[in-house]
Structure 1
């Protein structure tokens, strides 16, 4: 029996739907070396998805060096925003006003290294994350793979894998699957499969039969095909 011919989008082409350029793969559009985005992660914006790294990643200053790292196959709705560590003010003194950056003698004695130590670190998103419209992620947050972030949510603390977060402040309302199923899904890590196998088994990935997906993974891992 002849193998079926499968096709799939080019992750280096920013516009997978040429007639619908509001939806764009981010990886080929990113120029900032402090931002990393995995294959097939897209941002949807009717105005300019190309401006994502400037309009949606805020207070991201080179001198602080914090990274925004987004995995593969994430879906980011219009207005999703990442607040980076440059938004933070020093809270150790009486005033939080940023005197040092305003110039003149106000900058005397400013210790940039001490300020960097206040950083909350890199912001990291796993794979296969769906973020709703106008969701906002605060500095240094890690969002696990398979998570869903509701529209308008403000995420200020880490999110477990396959959790659903809503509200301001964002709170986990439930896990999408039982803990043992989450462990199996993370072990499968389907987003790291060769794209040919993802395409071949796309319906299983979209389905709800974890055992069938595991069987498919074992099949192509052993060289038996699909």
Structure 2
């Protein structure tokens, strides 16, 4: 049986509320890896609407890796939402031009850089990711979480603000998984290992490291 191509828009026959996201997104500041899917209760085209405050003049990017799982209502807040929180007023005078533009006097609005989601990351229903956050490979973000800081690989976080719930594996196992980086394998090799990828981690690592 053939493996579904990453260029497929709707990989589930007869179901158009789940898509391979890279085939739906067309914004030059958003990059999505192969086989990452987005599931929306209404319309998969909602995803881009949920990437908030992404403006060309801010120059920041949203980068999402391969084999990620994004639930309906996931929100990414980008750097265009930032204000001068350390100033007397946070009001964005310069945005409205004219004489107010001079109020900035060479200042720039704060930026926290690109927002990056690793590979094999599961982001739950209506989670919100704030600007400049990096989510490590294999992490799980709980439903309704508000992620304000970086998330370590293979950890589970939840809450507002999101806090560590627990690591998925011990440190040694996590290091081995990151070294194996199965998401970069050829798709034929991933397919051969699919039964192991959905099974016991020790057994998978034993087989994967032997094959390397």
- TM-score grouping bracket, smaller chain normalisation: over 0.9
Q: Contact 1:150 / 1:164 at 8 angstroms: preserved in 2?
A: yes
User: What residue in structure 2 maps to residue 147 of structure 1?
Assistant: 139
User: What residue in structure 2 maps to residue 94 of structure 1?
Assistant: 88
In the aligned structure 2, how far is the partner of 1:122 from the partner of 1:47? 28
Q: Contact 2:124 / 2:141 at 8 angstroms: preserved in 1?
A: yes
Deviation at 1:46, TM superposition (A): 2.2
Q: Contact 2:93 / 2:103 at 8 angstroms: preserved in 1?
A: no
User: What residue in structure 2 maps to residue 188 of structure 1?
Assistant: 180
TM-score, length-scaled by structure 2: 0.94
In the aligned structure 1, how far is the partner of 2:151 from the partner of 2:131? 13
Consecutive unaligned residues in structure 1, runs of 5 or more: 1-5, 222-226
Query: Between Structure 1 and Structure 2, whose CA radius of gyration is higher?
Result: 1
Partner residue of 2:161 out of 152, 156, 169: 169
User: What residue in structure 2 maps to residue 224 of structure 1?
Assistant: none
User: What residue in structure 1 maps to residue 26 of structure 2?
Assistant: 31
TM-score, length-scaled by structure 1: 0.89
In the aligned structure 2, how far is the partner of 1:214 from the partner of 1:50? 41
Distance 1:58 1:212, change over 3 A: closer
User: What residue in structure 2 maps to residue 71 of structure 1?
Assistant: 65
In the aligned structure 2, how far is the partner of 1:103 from the partner of 1:25? 40
> Tell me, what secondary structure is at the counterpart of 1:180?
helix
User: What residue in structure 1 maps to residue 3 of structure 2?
Assistant: 8
> Tell me, what secondary structure is at the counterpart of 2:11?
coil
In the aligned structure 2, how far is the partner of 1:139 from the partner of 1:42? 21
1:69-112 Cα distance to aligned partner (Å, 9 max, x none): 10000000000000000000012321101111123321224357
Partner residue of 1:107 out of 90, 101, 109: 101
Distance 1:212 1:102, change over 3 A: closer
Distance 1:33 1:217, change over 3 A: farther
User: What residue in structure 2 maps to residue 44 of structure 1?
Assistant: 39
Q: Contact 2:176 / 2:205 at 8 angstroms: preserved in 1?
A: no
User: What residue in structure 1 maps to residue 170 of structure 2?
Assistant: 178
Consecutive unaligned residues in structure 2, runs of 5 or more: none
Asked if residue 59 in structure 1 is aligned to residue 62 in structure 2, the reply is no
CA RMSD of aligned residues (A): 1.5
In the aligned structure 2, how far is the partner of 1:130 from the partner of 1:29? 19
Distance 1:188 1:207, change over 3 A: same
In the aligned structure 2, how far is the partner of 1:211 from the partner of 1:58? 41
